[in-house]
């Protein structure tokens, strides 16, 4: 199996596209299905067993909320 390179990036979407992706993610999670999304040219496959959490960070005047999905690759 081809080893994937480590990757850490942030992709900014227009608000409408972001909302559509969140809706599709929520619908997929609710249906108990796997989710796939393409980010910067790479197709990511998220298994239905992935863990989800919400993270909040504060530093000075900056506030950040992250919706995270985590899983182990096989």
Q: Give ∠ CA 20-67-62 in degrees, rounded to 5.
A: 110
Residues in contact with 64: Cβ distance below 8 Å, sequence separation at least 6, in sequence order: 56, 57, 58
Interval 16-63: pLDDT, tens: 999 999 999 999 999 999 999 998 889 999 999 999 999 999 999 999
Give the residue among 40, 23, 20 at the shortest CA–CA distance from 31: 23
pTM: 0.77
């Amino acid at each position: 199996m081809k080893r994937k390179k480590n990757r850490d990036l942030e992709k900014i979407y227009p608000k409408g596209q972001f909302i559509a992706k969140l809706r599709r993610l929520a619908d997929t999670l609710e249906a108990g299905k796997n989710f796939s999304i393409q980010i910067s040219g790479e197709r990511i496959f998220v298994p239905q067993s992935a863990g989800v959490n919400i993270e909040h960070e504060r530093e000075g005047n900056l506030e950040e909320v992250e919706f995270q999905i985590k899983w182990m690759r096989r």
